[in-house]
Amino acid sequence: MNVNGRHYRTIWLKETDNTVVQIINQLALPHSFDIIDLRTVEDVRRAIKDMYVRGAGLIGATAAYGMYLAVLEAGEGSFTADLLRSAEILKNTRPTASNLAWAVDRMLVTLTDSADLPPAKKCEDARIEAQAIADEDADSCRRIGIHGVEIIKAIAARKKGETVNILTHCNAGWLAFVDYGSALSPVYAAHDAGLKVHVWVDETRPRNQGASLTAWELGQHGVPHDLIPDNAGGHLMQHGMVDMVITGADRVTRCGDAANKIGTYLKAAAAKENGVPFYVALPSSTFDFNMRDGLKEIPIEERDASEVRFVSGKTKSGALKTVQICPDSTSARNWGFDVTPARYITGLISERGICEASEQGILGLYPEQAAGQGCTHG
Amino acid sequence: MNVNGRHYRTIWLKETDNTVVQIINQLALPHSFDIIDLRTVEDVRRAIKDMYVRGAGLIGATAAYGMYLAVLEAGEGSFTADLLRSAEILKNTRPTASNLAWAVDRMLVTLTDSADLPPAKKCEDARIEAQAIADEDADSCRRIGIHGVEIIKAIAARKKGETVNILTHCNAGWLAFVDYGSALSPVYAAHDAGLKVHVWVDETRPRNQGASLTAWELGQHGVPHDLIPDNAGGHLMQHGMVDMVITGADRVTRCGDAANKIGTYLKAAAAKENGVPFYVALPSSTFDFNMRDGLKEIPIEERDASEVRFVSGKTKSGALKTVQICPDSTSARNWGFDVTPARYITGLISERGICEASEQGILGLYPEQAAGQGCTHG
């Protein structure tokens, strides 16, 4: 999407030197827009591990480009061994991100086929495959937008052209993928089609991805929005100020339970109480067809308490500082995600279309996953 | 309650000079514990206006002591005029706090009776009345604890002595009153009675009263607790980690709808979905018997967006700093309160006892308010 009026993806090959991968440094957002060069597997490892890039789709694409750099680095005589070592290094950066291992393995399959080709051809094959992975991610997200915008259009028609107010939690925009995003893709599609949309941006404590990333990307693309505390959404829904909620997901079971950033469930419960439609947007890769009951089966990561005890931002003088918001002796707990049971979800939006958040609905879009028992909860 | 092992109230007369009012500077909490002397009506005006003191009960008591200082300042010949001017100054500090006007008016009634008495007697009458107002506030809160602890005892008995986990939002502890608090009074009573309790402290964005005040006062009194982001409560309830929710209130209608800090309603909705009891604790003065439908009738203050865009805290070097968490151009909205409809509330706890959150339940405790029509919503 656009930054300062120019189109960007979150990752690309440098225009003047296609052995260099470039990314947006998401750690510097929203206070500065820095582009970083990644020239080695070690650069890529650090970029993923230290969260210069984040979001399932973008992590996968970054790892794919990392494997391309691994080919450039690999010794002539030790090609396969070097490649496997790089694959291991990359996979170990963030072990829970499923797209990461998937992208690295897909690169390995391609490169095993290329093992006996001349070096220049190996590099070309690797580059083409990494770009294909990035392109496919962007294209999936673009198609989520094409499907999802129909929901917004229907609300806009019902409101006779009045602004459609959409609440989102965390960042599931283009910064989390290669382009477009999942939850925000329908929003961008609506805005680009000239529909009047306005986004309520949950700040999303403790890491404030809403305040720092969602607000930034919507602002850069020109989509009207307001930042709100995570506490405000219920009040807005009670007063008819939210027409729909749309979030991303970290994992969705075959029965439609959705794990997403902590706090998503509170918005879903309030949406149900107030009759506000609640949608979850996700690329197909986010489905976990092996799981059924999200509350029982999806493991919820507990993260460091310091994320709750401290907040980072920019001081008046422009310096980045971290401040402690509680007494020195206060302990904190910090679960990263929660699970919204399927019964709270109006629909799921993937690149294949929109379906009910139920096994039947999901298998309608994914008939190849039909083997297996039915859901035991509703 | 206790600070560094010693009992404090939030406001008192200086031991060595009863013409000086002392308060805890709540703006400095939790990073330092400062006691401030108030010697003039102007000192009191500033203390209320700039939020060195906050919370309905404490604001009322501070205004009462302010009227005592007004008597010390008033001219012999212009006693009544001076007093009325001071009353006006104090009432204008925070126009929405109903306890403020109530306390000032009560002092005026007493002092009108004293107008012709000798100066020393006027001062004594004013001092006694201000102390009575403070004592009554503390005593109301103490009795909220006596009633509310029975709920905690019942849960503890059912859990066979396992720790009772209580979630609270914002600060409705002793710092908001003269002593004990409303929501936290039953918690202190339980802890002091040797029951095992643990409090989940919502940080309560945007002003973080949970992180800065509730965590501090629970810590000082030795009550086990953990700070959590406002986003976490739903997840905790889904997993059986919350036995009850208890919050304070800013206004409760005769039908039982409760206005409280923004975000309270999201917890109430999740509590209802998960069968977690949700209690609201309040002194009688917080009832507004003239209102019925809280969602329609209670005005919700919209506060400055800067509270959302910035967060304050302590840097590593110990300095107090404010940091900006969003892009420079991001706009924000900041409603201070939301309304939890009566049907979400398991019970109301006041100094008179516990009742159902309904007109019938409330009038059972307040039969003198029985005149008026029934509620039109449920």
Poorest-confidence range of A131-135, A369-373, B215-219?
Answer: A369-373
Is A134 in contact with A9 (CB distance < 8 Å)?
A: yes
**To the nearest whole number, what is the mean pLDDT of chain B?**
95
Of all residues in chain A, the one with the smallest CA distance to B319 is: A323
- What is the pLDDT averaged over residues B34-40? 98
**To the nearest whole number, what is the mean pLDDT of chain A?**
95
**Quick check: A315 and B322 CB within 8 A?**
yes
Q: How far is B358 from chain A (nearest CA, A)?
A: 20
Is B202 in contact with B169 (CB distance < 8 Å)?
A: yes
In this predicted structure, the answer to whether residue A131 has a pLDDT above a threshold of 70 is yes
Q: Does A377 touch chain B (CB under 8 A)?
A: no
Q: How far is A47 from chain B (nearest CA, A)?
A: 22
In this predicted structure, the answer to whether residue A30 has a pLDDT above a threshold of 70 is yes
pTM score of the predicted model: 0.95
In this predicted structure, the answer to whether residue B280 has a pLDDT above a threshold of 60 is yes
- Entry field: residues in chain B: 378
- What is the pLDDT averaged over residues A339-360? 98
**Quick check: B335 and A232 CB within 8 A?**
yes
In this predicted structure, the answer to whether residue B98 has a pLDDT above a threshold of 80 is no
Separation of alpha carbons B313 and A326, rounded Å: 8
Q: Does B335 touch chain A (CB under 8 A)?
A: yes
Percent of chain A with pLDDT strictly greater than 90: 93
Task: Provide the pLDDT for residue B135.
Answer: 98
- What is the pLDDT averaged over residues A251-258? 97
Q: Which positions ≥6 away from B345 have C-beta within 8 Å? A: B256, B258, B268, B278, B279, B280, B357
Report how far apart the first and last C-alpha atoms of chain B are (Å, whole number): 38
- What is the pLDDT averaged over residues B102-110? 95
- Entry field: residues in chain A: 378
Six-digit token pair at B298?
Answer: 């209670």
Task: Provide the pLDDT for residue A377.
Answer: 57
The residue to which tokens 């959404």 are assigned: A233
In this predicted structure, the answer to whether residue B165 has a pLDDT above a threshold of 80 is yes
The residue to which tokens 């080919």 are assigned: A71
- For A78, A113, A121, A123, the CA distances from A116, given in Å and listed in that order, are 12, 8, 10, 12
Label each residue of chain A as H, E or C.
CEECCEECCCEEEECCEEEEEEEECCCCCCCCCCEEEECCHHHHHHHHHCCCCCCHHHHHHHHHHHHHHHHHHCCCCCHHHHHHHHHHHHHCCCCCCHHHHHHHHHHHHHHHHHCCCCHHHHHHHHHHHHHHHHHHHHHHHHHHHHHHHHHHHHHHHHCCCCCEEEEECCCCCHHHCCCCCCCCHHHHHHHHCCCCEEEEEECCCCCCHHHHHHHHHHHHHCCCEEEECCCCHHHHHHCCCCCEEEECCCEEECCCCEEEECCHHHHHHHHHHHCCCEEEECCHHHEECCCCCHHHHCCCCECCCHHHHEEEEECCCCCEEEEECCCCCCCECCECEEEECHHHCCEEEECCEEECCCHHHHHHHCHHHCCCCCCCCC
Six-digit token pair at B182?
Answer: 């409303």
Of B127, B113, B141, B151, the C-alpha closest to B244 is: B151
Q: Does A35 touch chain B (CB under 8 A)?
A: no
In this predicted structure, the answer to whether residue A349 has a pLDDT above a threshold of 80 is yes
In this predicted structure, the answer to whether residue B272 has a pLDDT above a threshold of 70 is yes
Active site residue B304: no
pLDDT digits (tens, 9 = 90+) for A281-299: 999 999 999 999 999 999 9
Separation of alpha carbons A73 and A296, rounded Å: 44
Residues of A in contact with B226 (CB under 8 A): 331-333
Is A313 in contact with A27 (CB distance < 8 Å)?
A: no
Which position has the higher pLDDT, B377 or A263?
A263
Q: How far is B84 from chain A (nearest CA, A)?
A: 39
Name the DSSP class of B332.
Answer: B
**Quick check: B322 and A316 CB within 8 A?**
yes
Residues of A in contact with B206 (CB under 8 A): 229, 231
Please name the member of B227, B261, B335 whose beta carbon is closest to the beta carbon of A326. B227
Chain A, chain B: beta-carbon pairs less than 8 Å apart: 222
pLDDT band at B77 (very low <50, low <70, confident <90, very high): confident
Q: Determine which helix (DSSP H) or strand (DSSP E) holds B20, and give its type and residue range.
A: strand B17-24
**Quick check: A229 and B233 CB within 8 A?**
no
- What is the pLDDT averaged over residues B258-262? 96
pLDDT digits (tens, 9 = 90+) for B205-253: 999 999 999 999 999 999 999 999 999 999 999 999 999 999 999 999 9
Q: What is the CA radius of gyration of chain B?
A: 21
Is B72 in contact with B38 (CB distance < 8 Å)?
A: no
Q: Does B273 touch chain A (CB under 8 A)?
A: yes
Please name the member of A205, A234, A324 whose beta carbon is closest to the beta carbon of B229. A205
In this predicted structure, the answer to whether residue A84 has a pLDDT above a threshold of 90 is yes
In this predicted structure, the answer to whether residue B357 has a pLDDT above a threshold of 70 is yes
Separation of alpha carbons A132 and A27, rounded Å: 26
Separation of alpha carbons B120 and B127, rounded Å: 11
Of B242, B177, B167, the C-alpha closest to B203 is: B167
pLDDT digits (tens, 9 = 90+) for A34-72: 999 999 999 999 999 999 999 989 999 999 999 999 999
Is A192 in contact with A253 (CB distance < 8 Å)?
A: no
Q: Does B310 touch chain A (CB under 8 A)?
A: yes
Report helix, strand or coil for B18. strand
Question: Beta partners for B258?
Answer: B252, B340
- What is the pLDDT averaged over residues A355-371? 96
Report helix, strand or coil for B256. coil
Burial string for A312-339 (b: 16+ CB within 10 Å, else e) reads bbbeeeeeebbbbbbbeebebbbbbbbb
In this predicted structure, the answer to whether residue B96 has a pLDDT above a threshold of 90 is no
Burial class (CB in 10 A: 0-12, 13-18, 19+), A240: exposed
Of all residues in chain A, the one with the smallest CA distance to B340 is: A235
In this predicted structure, the answer to whether residue B277 has a pLDDT above a threshold of 90 is yes
**Quick check: A230 and B263 CB within 8 A?**
yes
Is B115 in contact with B80 (CB distance < 8 Å)?
A: yes
In this predicted structure, the answer to whether residue A374 has a pLDDT above a threshold of 70 is no
Task: Provide the pLDDT for residue B378.
Answer: 45
Six-digit token pair at A121?
Answer: 């051809």
Question: Beta partners for B278?
Answer: B245
Question: Which one is catalytic: B250, B257, B288, B338?
Answer: B250
